[in-house]
Chain A
Amino acid sequence: MQKNKITGWQLCFLTLQTQLGISALSMPTDIAAEAGQDAWISMILGGLTVQGIIIIYIWLIMRCKTVSYFDFLSMVYGKFLGKMLLLFTILYLIFMLLMVISSFQQLITDWINIFTPTWMILLLLLIPSLYLAIDNITLIARFSMLISFFIPVLLIVILFVYAAPQFLYLLPVGSEGYKAIIKGVVPAVAALSGFEMILFFSHYIKENKRSELKKGLIGSGIVTFIYIYLIISVQVFFYIDELKIVPYPVLYIMKALSLMIIDRVDILFLTFWIIISTAVCINYLFVTGTGVQSLLNLKTHKYAVVAITFIVFVISIFIESKVEINMIQNQLFSMLLVFAVLIPTLTLMVSFLRKKVGDS
């Protein structure tokens, strides 16, 4: 067993976990705010867009087989510009971490731990993440795969919606007009954020073949299907006007559900969800750590991860109000556009022009 290497399927689950953990619970509301009852169509389009972006990634990665994306930046743009871009990418990753951490903290504070101080919840999320993020990629990939066994729990619990579905809420299809649907693609892609992990994880793959990388497409595809399933389930449960004002519609469905032995499924489910969402923190912490390692030419990413965790912890203590978190979340799409779409595409084109290939 090679250390510090992953298989194609592990890449698939790393991507899947990162994407799923970020916004699965709140995403239907955001999309419905733009696309109304055609939110699910926007999700399909969003999923296709992401698949397109991942194909661009695969082209890019095939040009830098053994070099990490961070190092490839310096190879393509030269030392100074490359390092600058790397620095900005790290800032972007820290931004993502902040967003993820504070959204989770907000969710937990809203839903289960109303009186627990913010910093305690942050520590509860960050310390377990740090414990794994300082270790190597193989273990992180194993964690992501193990955690994926919890995903069916989400799908099965949501199945209870179909005891009394209102499929009429979906009709007429396309009533919002194509403009609204296209507008809905923006939050849909934002909800799928996390696909950029393929860029950062790909050079760990044992055999850097196109077929292995394509398993990243499968991961993103599975997430798209899960999201479409969730959106449709939410839409046949809530009337659209209702949906637009419900913050975590997936959890609200569970709140309505009452089993014989457990009355509030949502609280128990959220316990599972915290475990799933930690995978996101772990993945981002690890990637940011390796980014800093590449920037400062460190031997390990260990201390970088510890430092980043501390920075994220300190900053997120000050992000308290919902308004601030919403502000951050609104920036997500434009950040994604720049760092996950524009820069990789530009890098691909420049590397074509300058005939740079990262293959040792």
Chain B
Amino acid sequence: MTLAGPTTESATSDEALADDARRGARNAFVVLVARYRDRIYRLAFRMSRNASDAEEIAQDTFLHAHRAIGSFHGESRFGTWLYRIAVNEALMRQRSARRRPLESIDVLMPRFADVGATGGDQAESADELVDAKRVIRRVREALDELDADHRAALVLRDLEELSAEDAADILGISAEALRQRAHRARMKMRVMLADILADRA
């Protein structure tokens, strides 16, 4: 994924909409919310591993961005600016609050079953559904075991598919440091999920 340019709704660029929003066009910000709501919510969920926290992080991100849109002058892409706000909200919350327990994975099941646990085929049997649930839980537990900095690097680089430079810019570190954190995170995940990865070899 890139953070450049429009992805839905119209050909108007994010930056043009942000410019309109800065000049007071409320509807322009509503369009930006529609473009980014799922990406920001998914980012918040991946950073927090918890739907309740993800809801609060996503909401606070858009409210913060709306209040601060006057200070956005296009020095970075709008998406990068918004991601930076969301990542900071998530990291602040993680550093100041007790971790909430992982919750039911049922919220994820319909979408996960749609694509199948092994990559494309629809889950066809009760056994496959049970296996898909087991894989989701194991993956989420492994993600939960990473510290906040390594998880943030993994989420931005591998899950949100940002360039190393964009991800590093959002986290305020060098691209090389970002690559190292993402690599360590992948290696830890690889150890924790060795049996699941072996099944897919």
* Chains A and B form a bound pair: no
* Interfacial residues, chain A to chain B (CB-CB below 8 A): none
